[in-house]
Amino acid sequence: MTDVEINWPWQYNFPPFFTLQPTAQTRSKQLAAWKTLILDYCRQTKTYTLDVREAVDWPLFYNSTINRRLNSTVIVSVLSELSKSSNCAALDKAKNRWEIYWHTLEEWASMIYGYICDSGLQNTVLTFYELTNGTDVQEQEFAGMQTEVLIKVLRVLEDERKCELILSDDMQGVKFF
């Protein structure tokens, strides 16, 4: 999946971590550890979308060293839990495809608008490319954000009347206020 060096938590090398635990208290701790691991992994690898059918083979869910894999049903359960804190959203009814937000959409919106204000870019039109891949944003955490996620983040700002999306055939951009 990626060349990024991941610092795996101790649970990752503990075989029972890959099997949903039957005891409620243990399962609750297990799910919390999985939620943290998913968000950390996606942040480090800049992964914004996940297809459960493919992800079962990712290092995130498959520890080849101990030959353990989290099955797709449990992955969907963990992601469903993660969606309760607004850190992911299912993209289809079957819950195969998910968007992952290691910051909630509101947190991303605040981060982007803070950058716009700090950079004096209010009343400026930026293309999506400039906003996520421009040379000035490379040190920002939102650098490289997927367009689909960016639009959802900008809709939060649009609802707050801090920007206006420009979605035409010849330009995808945003004007900040």
pLDDT per residue as tens digits for the range 63-94:
999 999 999 999 999 999 999 999 999 999 99
One domain, residues 115 and 151: yes
Q: What is the pLDDT of residues 31-68, one digit of tens each?
A: 999 999 999 999 999 999 999 999 999 999 999 999 99
CATH number at residue 109: 1.10.10.10
3-state secondary structure of 78: helix
Tell me the whole-structure pTM to 2 decimals. 0.90
In this structure, are residues 104 and 123 in contact, taking their beta carbons and an 8 Å threshold? no
CA dist., res. 99 & res. 80, Å (int): 12
Report the candidate in 87, 84, 90 with the shortest Cα–Cα distance to residue 104.
87
One domain, residues 86 and 149: no
One domain, residues 36 and 95: yes
Q: 105-118 and 147-159 are packed helices; what angle lies between their axes, rounded to 10 degrees?
A: 80
Q: Would 37 be classed as within a structural domain?
A: yes
Q: Is the pLDDT assigned to residue 2 strictly greater than 90? A: no
* Domain range for 131: 105-176
Q: Would 4 be classed as within a structural domain?
A: no
In this structure, are residues 113 and 156 in contact, taking their beta carbons and an 8 Å threshold? no
CA 69 to centroid of chain Cα atoms: 21
The first and second tokens of residue 143, run together, are 């650098």
State residue 171's pLDDT score. 83
One domain, residues 24 and 82: yes
